[in-house]
Each structure stands twice: as C-alpha cells, then as structure tokens.
A and B are shown apart, each in its own frame.
Chain A
Amino acid sequence: MQPTEDPVREAETSRHRQADQPSSLVARFGPEAPLMLDCGVTLAPWQIAYQTYGTLNADRSNAVLICHALTGDQYVASTHPVTGKPGWWELVVGPGKPIDTDRFFVVCANVLGGCMGTTGPASTNPATGRAWGLDFPVVTVADMVRSQAALIDHLGIPDLFLVAGGSMGGMQVLQWASAQAKRVFAALPIATGARHSSQNIAFDEVGRQAVMADPDWRDGHYLSAGTSPKKGLAVARMAAHITYMSESSLHQKFGRKLQDRETLGFGFDSDFQIESYLRHQGSSFVERFDANSYLYVTRAMDYFDLAAEHGGVLAHAFQGTATRFCVMSFTSDWLFPTADSRTIVHALNAAGARVSFAEIVADRGHDSFLLDEPEMHQILAGFIASAARARGL
C-alpha cells in the first residue's frame, strides 16, 4: 500500500492492516488447534489479538481477564493504534486503579468476530486469500469465551483471579463463570444480562439493516470491491449510541441547543447539537470499525441466552459454583436495566453462590460503566480487595 496524503484513507488502511497484523500481541493457532464453533464449523487456522499489562506472579495466580463490549478492543489501558485515543477503561485498569496493574497481570483480547486482530470477517480467509466477509461463520459469546480460554492456556495461566467486563463483556464474564467455573475465582459482570432482550435484538437489527441498506456494503464484499459502507455503519452507530445514554443525560448535555447557529435553519443540516454530536459519533466510528464485524458481533449478543443452554433455568448455569460474584447495574441504564442484573443475582442465590449486587445511581445510562462513576470504582475496589485477600494475593 502506497502512503497517501488523505488522513481518512490512511486511517482506513491502518485499520485494515490491524485485522491480520495487529499492533498488539497475537497468538496464532494452526490446524492442530482448531476452534470448534457453536454453529458446527471448525475454524482453523485462527488467531487472537491481545494486550497484557502488569506481570504474572510466580504462582500464576494473579491473572485478570477483561472482556470488552460490542465496539471495544484489546486496548483497555493503552493507546488505540488507529484513533490514538487512550484505552477504553483507563479509569478502572492501570497502576493504582481498582484493577491494579501493579498487582495483577491483566489480559484483554479482541473478541472473535472482531476487527482488531482476532479472526473475524475482516481477516483474510486463508482458503481464498481475500477477506472472509459473510463467508465467516456466525460466532457466539460462548465461542468468544472458547477463544479466550485457548489464549489463557497458551499463556500458561491455570486459572483466572478475576474476569471482568461490562455489557457484552459482562455476557462473556457470565459465560466464563458458567462454562469454565473452576477457572474463575471472582467474576464481575457489569451492566449486562444473562440474555439479550427482545428490545435489544430489535435495536441490533436496526443497526444491521442500516449497514446492509448501504449500496457500498456490496452484499458484504466491500473489502474486495474497494468500497466501504460508511453511511450505513454510521447510522447503525448513531442509533446504537442513543441506547447507551439516557433521556436525562441527553437533556442535560444538549437540551434543544442549536449547533453553530442562532436560529433554526429550516433545512436538514444538523441544527441541533444532539444531531451534530450523533453525526460525529457515527463518522468517527466508521474509521475504526469494520461493518461486517458489527453484524457478527451484534449477532453474537442476540444469540446469547445462558438459561436456554441450561434447560431454561439460569441457576443451573451456576450450579455448585465457588466463584465470588459482584453484579452491578446503573439506575439510568435502559439497555440492560437493573431487572436484568436482578435476574442474574436471583439465579446465583438459588445456586448458593457468593454474590454481591449493587445498583449505582448514575444518570448517564448504559455507558456509565465506562465513565467516571466514583461509587462504581469504590465498590469495584472493595470487591477486588476482598477477593484478593481470599486468594492470598
């Protein structure tokens, strides 16, 4: 690829490179270590891109796995190679932070189906030498966890001190705690649910239809066609972004304030600040995210239903667990409302699990878990400190 003057084009090229050759660490698995997917496909070769922070102790007992949300990635506490922005959870992960990288060995991997270096639809299909596109098999949250477990094996970590994550990251935490219970000492599922609600599936479908309605999507083959369904993906992001906030936070932040103008424009420019904000969210997102990845990862969330895998009884997913849980929700989160967290807590109680649950009063909606919410950080720190004591760390 020739260097180019166009910064947008450059960012896009850099992103495409990340899919196969991530800037982060990467573990590659050949045909001898295939990934068995829920859909029945055996994926090989495959790779998982990850970052680590801190040092694994001699007992290999201080490892923490952070699971990222829909549009997150492995750069939890380090600069993003495409956007140049700080890590997405630096408020929580770092030296002296609640997940203290001076004490713990923190691992964060890009999810299966993602576009930042773990095998996904933007990766090169070894059979064709071109991007997988829609030929990539549909993956599930359980598949994501399988891929992470393979990485943890690869790193020589017998079991994890803590698995933590919000939103889709929280789904992975629950899946870990259920499918790999003996390898999880403490689990921290935040702002999440044991299944995706009908309303959430509905929002995901709107996003996917927006992507697929873009003529530049080319039935998923835009990478080979040299196009990019930016408009569709931007609309998907705009719609989704609304679900991450709350009516009250939108009102406080933007109200009906106008953008760079004194009076209404009597047209369809972004008169209102909220419009301008959403357009910005949409256009900056497409520079760092692959449209097909968006389809696959939202699909994985839609398919998630932990109780269904256990005869319809969620408690059975946690039978006999020794893991310590801390479940957290936010009052203004309407994407994963507190009722979803309560369902998890009731199931954990029924399974006799050691569980804490706190609902944080916060008005910034679902995204609160990523933001500066001192009460959340205090509870995180208290939970982690007591778990660390119990593990002798």
Chain B
Amino acid sequence: MLDASGISKIPTVPEARVDLAVVAELVPAGVRLLDVGCGDGSLLEYLAAVKGIDGRGIELSQKGVNAGVARGLSVIQGDADTDLATYPDGAFDYVVLSQTIQATTHPRRVLEQLLRIGRRAVVSLPNFGHWRIRWQFLLFGRMPVTEDLPYSWYDTPNIHFCTIRDFVELAKEIDADIEKAIALDAWGRKLSFNAPWWFWNLFGEQAVFVLKRKG
C-alpha cells in the first residue's frame, strides 16, 4: 500500500477486532483466500500487505463493499447464506468467516460450503458460553447484552449464537478436523493452549478455529 506521500505503509487492523490479528497469524503467506463477511476489507488489506495473499471478499453491506472496492480490493456484494453456492469446489486455499457465523440463517450449511470452497476454513465466533453471559442470564433471567454483543434480542443480527463447545460439536457432525483452535479472553489475550474445553468455554470470550475437510 502506498499513502499520499508514496511511502509504503502497512495497514493496521482495528484494535476492537483482536480476532482479525489472530486470523492473520493463522494464515500462511501467499495463499488464495476468500473473506466471507469482509466488512470494509481491513483484514484483506492487512493480509495482502503482510502475507501477500491473493484475496477476495464477500460483504453483505453496500457500504462495506464500496469501501473495499474503492481500496482496490476484489470484493463483491453477497450473502454468506446464498452466494457461496456459486463458487466452485476447492476454489480457495483458505476461507475466512470472522464473527459472522452467528448472523447466518443456516450456520451448518454455511460451514459446509466454506469447506467445499476452501481447503481450510478459519472461523472466529463470539462464545455464548462465556461466564459473563451465563452470569447475566442466571442473575437477571434476560437475554445478555455485553460490550461485544451490544444488541437487544429484538434487533440483533445475531440469530444463531453458539458456545465454543457447540461449535466443536458441529465441526464433528460435519466431519471436519479442527486443525487449530485459539480462545481469547475478555482482554483479547490467548488462553492457555493446554486448558480443557470447559475452561475455554467458560473463560473464552471469542474463539478462532482452523477447520479442514477430512480426507
């Protein structure tokens, strides 16, 4: 990337999205990558600059698409639920779905599509099993509203919340290998790799998975 002065600069990922930095760590250099729900293209731009990936994006919001295209990224307007079907098998090395699966109508179908299109899928998601969410629900008996999940139940785009353990189960059901998994606490720090699933499920505010098709 060149700024107005012609000096090369590496774009930064927004601080609020620590999961993007983790995704960037998990993606090898030079791969062909599709970012599903790419927003304004921050991650794609970052990965292109730092990892030299050949990136494409799909984004539902017009604003995000236009921002991405104006930045010179290959971004199309589309919907994870419907438009992934138009891509051929194995079109990408990596397909990224960051903080989007909970907003899809058919998460299982989307996940299957990701693994059909890409050799690997990187999925990041908010963990609905985090202790603070459990605590709110237990204490107040109302749908939790947190800093990271700030919507009320009636206007949330997040229609299919799951916990880390739920997601692990789904991965098993669709016969995907979990190659890597990382959980982040409320401050964006990685939880110990050796911690058991129940610990992650309680203390991970979000998780990032690398899935691979079996066989």
Contact = CB atoms under 8 A, between A and B. Distances in A.
Contacts of B158: none
B104 interface: no
Contacts of B70: 378-379, 381-383
A383 B72 contact: yes
B73 A361 contact: no
Given A382-B69, A383-B69, A354 B74 contact: yes
Centre residue among A352, A356, A375, A387 by max chain B CB count within 10 A: A356
Contacts of B86: 346, 349-350
Interface string B185-196: 000000000000
Interface size class of A (residues with CB under 8 A): 20 to 34
Interface string B70-109: 1111111110000100111001000000000000000000
Contacts of B73: 356, 386
Interface size class of B (residues with CB under 8 A): 20 to 34
B74 A324 contact: yes
A357 B65 contact: yes
A10 B83 CA distance: 56
A307 interface: no
Contacts of A382: 69-72
A355 B77 contact: no
A76 interface: no
A261 interface: no
Interface string B53-64: 010100000100
B69 A358 contact: yes
Contact of B76 (A324, A355, A389): A355
Contact of A356 (B62, B69, B87): B69
A361 B70 CA distance: 15
A339 to B, nearest CB: 12
A144 interface: no
A360 B72 CA distance: 16
B76 A361 contact: no
B56 A345 contact: no
Contact of A350 (B69, B77, B87): B87
B77 A359 contact: yes
A375 B72 contact: no
Interface of B: 2, 54, 56, 62, 65-66, 68-78, 83, 86-88, 91
